Chains A and B, each alone.
Chain A
Amino acid sequence: MTIDEITQPGTADNGIDIDFLRSARDMLTAQPEAAAFEWRVRNTWVNGTHSTSVCRDFHGLAAEQEHRSTFIFDTDHPEIFASADNGATPTEVVLAALAGCLTAGVAAVAQQRDIQLRSVSAEVVATSDVRGVLGIDPDIRNGFSRVDVTYAIDADATDDDIRALVAQSQKRSAVFDIVTNPTNVAVDVR
């Protein structure tokens, strides 16, 4: 332990319970089976390209868990594709998930490093060539050709310290990993 840690107890408060996170980490180190989570989304077609996804229950810490309330996401396509535009496009939801995950990580890492955040905002811009999804050119992928996330962060820290928060958040982010690395996906019909 350094002298700083002895004389300066954590003063930053970003609304993250860091003691809980540390104890959870210790608990899951000792009981890896409790770290096996299962995430569930139930999706139902409404009409046209509109569907709803419902998040209610999941499995984790060796037990069935439930959200405080049921969360519903509408996804649809915009009117320029002759759709009703009843929700964000699924691709935008992916970007929302990426930003949500990274921002949560920024707050958690800042708390761990005792950095007080005053404001955090991110702009996510993704480019894609829709000739891929329309099957016009087999050499063009369906997904994004590039994703740019730009953070604006006001905090009690140097520029490098703030950049380190954002870098560490990416290193620990589930959605960043999901977007940047391949995942086995099995889609079945019953």
Chain B
Amino acid sequence: MQGGKLSATELTEYYLERSERFQGALNGYISLTRDKALETADHVDSVRRQKGHLSPLAGIPMAVKDNIAVRGVPTTCASKVLANYVSPYDATAVEKLADCPILGKANMDEFAMGSSSLTSAYGPVSNPWDLKRSPGGSSGGSAALVAAGCAPFSLGTDTGGSIRQPAAFCGITGFKPTYGRVSRRGLLPLAPSLDQMGTLTRSVEDAALVLQEICGYDSGDSTSAPHGVPDFSASLIDDVSGFAIGLPKEIMESCPDGGTSRAVEAAARKLEQAGARVSWVSMPYLDESLAAYMLIATAEAASCLARYDGVAYGYRHSSLSLEEMYTGSRIFGVEVRRRLMLGTFNLGTDSGYELGQQAREQISSHLEKLFTEIDLLLLPAAPFIAFPLAEELDPLTMYYNDVYSIPANMAGLPALALPCGESGGLPVGMQMMAPRFREDVLLQAGYTWQCRSDWHLRRPREVEL
């Protein structure tokens, strides 16, 4: 593009056309924003013609998960309660990527509550590797679109694994940065103390490029980290010699999908050959972590979703009685209703949230101790591979999807999901976790892996034309 061989408009048009063509099969978008995308592309092209200043990613289109505010377009969180809501402002990350044409708002689980993208009020998303299977969730649309080549990259959010599990299900790279690295301003919260925005890309290299743009302190988010952002491209080195990698024994032994644990262990051996020291470590309290997560996330969600009352914006049920207007306007789907009930109930008990927070401290301090011995943890991104859309999972089994990813959210750690094999013909993802603010370690290890493997280069056959 800088050489003038390809215009932003041409590139955007290519992705828009692909996005529109596969929308029926994938249902990856809640809204497609063709006009807005072309407007941005045109702006970029004209600035480039005039040799004006552009950001490094200028002209590269993206899909934005529908729980991230984009000015002037619907921001629905895949919920009926926000069906007609148009955000009057941009999220900070979207502002920072202002030169990236926005193809559309990616489908997701309603209010990011789910690990399947089945809870969307706008229909489920299909996995491009097998349209009858789930792409995972909650950033299922974001993951499916990148995997299907409908978007070069997308923005997602991760509260308990919502970037990493769908990245694993769809065979792409998912990066959840350290809590506080990316501003949450404009992220419609599920659980503010756990939510973090991140990227879904084809490769670690792409992730580094996008992260470079969206990370950084924002005075508009009081939980934003004041830490400086290093040059992430400097970490794109094919070298893990001297890295101490910990493999959590309990997880590797108990992973319900044998194909997954085999693929992750094989990846570990390959990294060992590349010079890393791999050792077995103990990562206890997984069940407790999930339980604590449920306490915290549901309580915070019940609080954050109290604002959807039909008064000042969003869907309103017309009624002559205020009380009926309230209940009639809060038309969340069944999963959201269930979690709001759990959350409200435990906000009303004396110790629910506190209990969760105490367990969280415990889990965090254990991980902190672990990282005094190792540089990174290597584990499966999810206990399962993509499951059929038709499969009815009971809520607790569904929540179990996040059991390997939740500890990173509990402790605010950066984590990366990478394709590392297949199981039953479907992608398997492994996960790396590093200490807080050590995105560089993940990028270097992830880059090394992708230099020595080709899983991230494989494309789903369904959408090849």
Q: Real complex partners, A and B?
A: no
Chain A residues proximal to chain B, CB less than 8 Å = none
**Chain B residues with a Cβ under 8 A of chain A:** none
